[in-house]
Structure 1
Amino acid sequence: MNRLISDIGRIWRGELQPSLAWSSAFAAMCLAMATMVRFGMAHLRPDVFFTPYIPAVFFATAMGGSAVGLVTAIIGAALGLLLEFGSATVDVARVALMTMYLTVAALVIWGVNHYRDLAAKQREIAKRLTDEEQYRKLLVDELHHRLKNKTSTIHAVLHQVLHDQPQVWSSIDKRIRALAGADDLIARVDAQGCDLKDLLMSELGPYGHVRFELNGDPLFLPAKLAVSLALIFHELATNAAKYGAFASPRGFLQVSWTLHEDRLRLSWDETEGPPIDQVGKPGFGTKLLKAALSPFEGKTETTFLKTGIHCTMQFRVPPS
Structure 2
Amino acid sequence: MGKLIDEFRKGWQGVAPPSLSLSIAFAVACVLVATLARWGLAHVRPDVYFTPYFPAVFFAAAFGGLRIGVVTALIGGVLGVVVNFGDAFADRARFALLTLYWGVSALTIWGVEHYRTMLAEQRRISKRLIEEEDYRKVLVDELQHRLKNKLSTVHAVLHQVLHDQPQVWARIDPRLRSLAATDDLISRIDKAGCDIRDLLISELGPYGHVRFTLNGDRLFLPPKLAVTLSLMFHELATNAGKYGAFSSPRGLLQVSWTVSDDRLTVTWDETGGPSVDKVSEPGFGTKLLKSALSAFDGKTEVSYLKTGLHCIMQCRIPKSE
Same fold (TM over 0.5): yes
189-198 or 204-213, larger mean C-alpha shift: 204-213
CA shift for structure 1 position 170: 4.3
Matched residue SS, 2:253: strand
Q: Does 1:279 align with 2:279?
A: yes
Q: Which amino acid aligns with 1:146?
A: R
Percent identity, please. 65
* d(CA) in 2 for partners of 1:287, 1:21: 62
Matched residue SS, 2:266: strand
Equivalent in the alignment of 1:57: 57
Where do residues 305-320 of structure 1 align in structure 2 (5 Å cutoff)?
A: 305-319=305-319
Q: Deviations over 1:168-196 (max 9, x none)?
A: 43453344223312221111011110111
Equivalent in the alignment of 2:156: 156
Matched residue SS, 1:292: helix
Where do residues 34-73 of structure 1 align in structure 2 (5 Å cutoff)?
A: 34-73=34-73
Unaligned 5+ segments in structure 1 are none
CA shift for structure 1 position 277: 1.3
1-10 or 300-309, larger mean C-alpha shift: 1-10
CA shift for structure 1 position 42: 0.8
Equivalent in the alignment of 1:208: 208
**TM-score normalised by length of structure 2:** 0.94
* d(CA) in 1 for partners of 2:282, 2:172: 31
8 Å Cα contact 1:244-1:307 kept in structure 2: no
Equivalent in the alignment of 1:140: 140
75-84 or 131-140, larger mean C-alpha shift: 131-140
8 Å Cα contact 1:276-1:307 kept in structure 2: no
Q: Which amino acid aligns with 1:82?
A: V
Equivalent in the alignment of 1:221: 221
CA shift for structure 1 position 151: 1.3
CA shift for structure 1 position 3: 3.4
**TM-score normalised by length of structure 1:** 0.95
Equivalent in the alignment of 1:125: 125
8 Å Cα contact 1:65-1:113 kept in structure 2: yes
* d(CA) in 2 for partners of 1:245, 1:236: 11
Aligned length: 320
CA shift for structure 1 position 63: 1.8
CA RMSD in angstroms comes to 1.6
176-185 or 116-125, larger mean C-alpha shift: 176-185
Matched residue SS, 1:293: helix
Equivalent in the alignment of 2:295: 295
* d(CA) in 2 for partners of 1:179, 1:271: 24
Matched residue SS, 1:86: coil
* d(CA) in 2 for partners of 1:25, 1:270: 76
8 Å Cα contact 2:10-2:18 kept in structure 1: no
Q: Deviations over 1:239-273 (max 9, x none)?
A: 21222112222211111111222221110011111
Equivalent in the alignment of 1:10: 10
Matched residue SS, 1:147: helix
252-261 or 46-55, larger mean C-alpha shift: 252-261
Q: Which amino acid aligns with 1:273?
A: G
1-10 or 34-43, larger mean C-alpha shift: 1-10
* d(CA) in 2 for partners of 1:283, 1:174: 25
Where do residues 152-191 of structure 1 align in structure 2 (5 Å cutoff)?
A: 152-191=152-191
Matched residue SS, 2:258: strand
8 Å Cα contact 1:73-1:105 kept in structure 2: yes
8 Å Cα contact 1:176-1:206 kept in structure 2: no
* d(CA) in 1 for partners of 2:113, 2:141: 42
Equivalent in the alignment of 2:81: 81
Matched residue SS, 1:101: helix
* d(CA) in 2 for partners of 1:180, 1:19: 55
Q: Which amino acid aligns with 1:314?
A: Q
Equivalent in the alignment of 2:91: 91
Q: Does 1:268 align with 2:268?
A: yes
8 Å Cα contact 1:179-1:206 kept in structure 2: no
